[in-house]
Amino acid sequence: MYTTNFAQVGRNIQTALSANNMTQQKLADELGISKQVMSKIIKGNKAINVGELSMIASVLGTTTDQLLTSKEVVSDEFCFSFMGRIRRESTKDKVAVLRSAIEEIRLLEELDNE
């Protein structure tokens, strides 16, 4: 299962770093970014795009699939750390509408940046 959680992607990057005996600084240098930015990515505090994810995977000798794979068995689709698990169907429906709107906004932003 793929994750949509940047913190999970960051944990996967950290795992790949450890497997390669590579530091965050070395990865940052290879990518041409600062260690501070790399740290934000690994902590899940900075969103990364497909191109950045691909470059990270290449440097780490892994795949984007590995970096996007969630190791968690329980789906966090309707779980928010600040408010717990959403159980009511009506609330799940509202969250789905919000997610759809957010995805459309992201798509428009990407198109605007081209």
76-112 per-position pLDDT tens digit: 555 555 556 666 777 777 777 888 888 888 888 878 7
Could you give the percent of the chain with pLDDT greater than 70?
84
- When comparing pLDDT for 33 and 113, which is higher? 33
CA 85 to chain centre: 20
Task: For residue 81, give both structure tokens.
Answer: 């750390």
Q: Phi and psi of 15, rounded to 5°?
A: -60, -45
Task: For residue 62, give both structure tokens.
Answer: 């892994």
pLDDT, position 36? 94
CATH of the domain spanning 6-68: 1.10.260.40
pTM of the model: 0.61
pLDDT, position 18? 95
Mean pLDDT of 55-84: 75
CA 88 to chain centre: 27
Q: Is the pLDDT of residue 25 over 80?
A: yes
pLDDT, position 95? 77
Q: Please answer whether residues 48 and 38 qualify as being in contact, where contact means their C-beta atoms are separated by less than 8 angstroms.
A: no
Mean pLDDT over the full length of the chain:
84
